[in-house]
Structure formats: C-alpha cells, structure tokens
Structure 1
Amino acid sequence: MASEAEKTFHRFAAFGESSSSGTEMNNKNFSKLCKDCGIMDGKTVTSTDVDIVFSKVKAKNARTITFQQFKEAVKELGQKRFKGKSPDEVLENIYGLMEGKDPATTGATKATAVGAVDRLTDTSKYTGTHKERFDESGKGKGIAGREEMTDNTGYNFWMAFQGACIT
C-alpha cells in the first residue's frame, strides 16, 4: 500500500513543476493532493489544517517536504479525518484514498460564451459593411471581406488619360 502512496506522492510532487524531479513536494501540490484525493473534506480537515500540518512537518527554512515528512503529515491529517480509529487503520484509510490518483486538470479553465461574447460572435446581427465580411453560413471571407477588390478587366480611365498625355 505504501508503495502506491509513494507513486501518488511523486506524481503530485512533479505536477506543474518543470524543474522538479518529483522527490520533494511544495505546499501548493500538497494541498492539491489532499483535495484531489479526498483527504481534505472541508469539514473535519480544512485547507487551513493542511497548511498548518505542512508547516509543522517541513524543515525550518525549507519550502518543500520529502516523502518521509509527507507520511508524518498524512498521519496527522488522518488522525483528524478518521477520529476514533487506530493509527494503522488511519494510515490504511488515507493510503486507500490516495491509491491510483493523479492530479486533476479537468475543469481548471472553462471557455465562456455569455453576454458580450455571444453577441459579438453572432454574425447574423452584423449590419452595414461588416456583414459583407461573412458568407451566408457565417464563415468569414478573410481578406476578401475586408478590402475592396478591384476588377482590372475592361476600360481603365487612368490608362486612357496617360495615353492622351503622351501623344
């Protein structure tokens, strides 16, 4: 069980850190692990509890914790989360929550399509010269919709004028 917890620790430790080898975890990733794995439930274990425990187990001037320090922190949070259980049961339950978990990235950033965005992307509401920039389906015409394209076929006044001036 502990080896599975260690794998989860390394996945979360390396998450979002391009220079991290995954051997040490910062407070942000520790909080993410606690939230994503369900250790932090918002009632018995809050984000404040997680921050306090992280500060308690890390070395004095360090910003990260090792796996050994992580185990101490998880043990302390587990005592709070699973009150009335033996330390062995607590660790087993905590490791069970962590088993096979990866850092969640879904729903982190969502595209918005309300209000002004909806109105500005609806080409059927365009009027005047702006509506000439789109075809019937609403697809943009590109440069053909933005510039007046000249037709160089047929009689050209300027060429006739130049010819009159030369002779």
Structure 2
Amino acid sequence: RMSALETAFRKFAMYGDTAATGNDMTGKNFSKMCKECGVMDGKAVTSTDVDIVFNKVKTKGARNITFAEFQQAMKELCGKRFKGKSPEEALQAMYALTEGKEPGNVGVTKATTAGGVDRLTDTRKYTGSHKERFDESGKGKGMAGRENLNNNTGYVGAYKGANTYDKKP
C-alpha cells in the first residue's frame, strides 16, 4: 500500500504530463508541490531554496527526482521550514503538509461562463477615457461618447479652427 505521502508525490509527479508514470518528478512539479502544500512559504523557504535542494538530491545528469530523492529533499528543507523543531518533528510536520494533497486546479484554466458579449458590454469594467462612452444606465452614447468630434466646417475638409481667425491665441 502506498503512503499518503507517496500518493501525493505521484499526483504531483504526473501533473501536466499525460505520459508521466508518477515514479519521478520534474523540478517544475516539485516546485509546484512545495508551493501548493505550503512547504515554500516565501520566508524560511523560498523558490530558490526549493530549486537548490531539487538539484542537490537528484542523480547527476538526471532531470527528475525519484520518490526516495523526494524524501531526501523533504529532509533537507524541513529544517529550514520548521526551525527549532527536532529533525524528526520537522520531517513529520513537512509530511503532514504534503500528505493527501493533490495539484490545485487540476483543470487549470476555467473558461469564464459568462458569454463574451456579456463581459464586453458590462460598462462597469471600462476605465479611463473608455468609460466616458456610456451614460449612467450603461447605454452607449454613440459618436457623442467619443472625444474630438470634428466639425469639418472649414474651406478645407480637415480644418479644425473654424471661426478662430480673428481671435488672438
């Protein structure tokens, strides 16, 4: 029977790779596991620490770590993560963080269920000059909502300074 720890290891090892057997884990997935299980807390244990330990325990030339190497990595990290605890307690606490866990958001990207049109026509989401294009009710103002309407009333089509000849700048 597999331990809860090994089960978690396998689930993370297979994450994002359909061909993975779950017997070994990539650095990316090891890092993901440490992040999601709270091993990496950003203070005592950073992503750099996790990468260093990963490279330290893996077999030279290998790209992945085995479950045994993973346990070694946990030993390396537990002292940092649970300072002041005995090595044995720290390791148990480390295992407690990871046991029974599985990769979060297994489906990863969830499509927004609201239709694209609903999203794009929700005028509350517009900011800056774009929000000027709608009135309070969210109804578009059409051309009037866009800035710089030219009244092309000069002799030349694009002339913008109608009736300004006599005015001093």
What CA distance in whole angstroms lies between the structure 1 residues aligned with 2:108 and 2:7? Answer: 23
Structure 1 unmatched runs, 5+: 128-167
CA pair 67-106 structure 1, distance change in 2 beyond 3 A: closer
Q: Match of 1:84? A: 84
TM-score (norm 1): 0.65
Aligned counterparts of 1:32 and 1:126: Cα–Cα separation in 2: 48
Aligned counterpart, 2:38: 38
Structure 1 residues 107 and 46: CA distance shift in structure 2, 3 A: farther
Q: Distance in 1 between matches of 2:120 and 2:61?
A: 50
How far apart are the structure 2 equivalents of 1:91 and 1:33? 16
The alpha carbon displacement at 1:109 in A equals 3.8
* Residue pairs, 1:106-117, within 5 angstroms: 108-109=108-109
* Greater RCO (CA < 8 Å, at least 6 residues apart): 1
Paired residue type of 1:118: L
Structure 1 runs of 4+ with >4 Å offset: 110-114, 124-127
Residues 1:118 and 2:120 aligned together: yes
Unaligned runs of 5+ in 2: 124-138, 143-169
CA distance in 2, matches of 1:110, 1:24: 28
Measure, in 2, the Cα distance between the counterparts of 1:20 and 1:8: 14
Size of the aligned set, in residue pairs, is 124
Q: Measure the CA separation in 2 of the matches of 1:82 and 1:76.
A: 11
C-alpha deviation, 1:119, in angstroms: 4.0
Match of 1:18 in 2: 18
Greater percentage in helix: 1
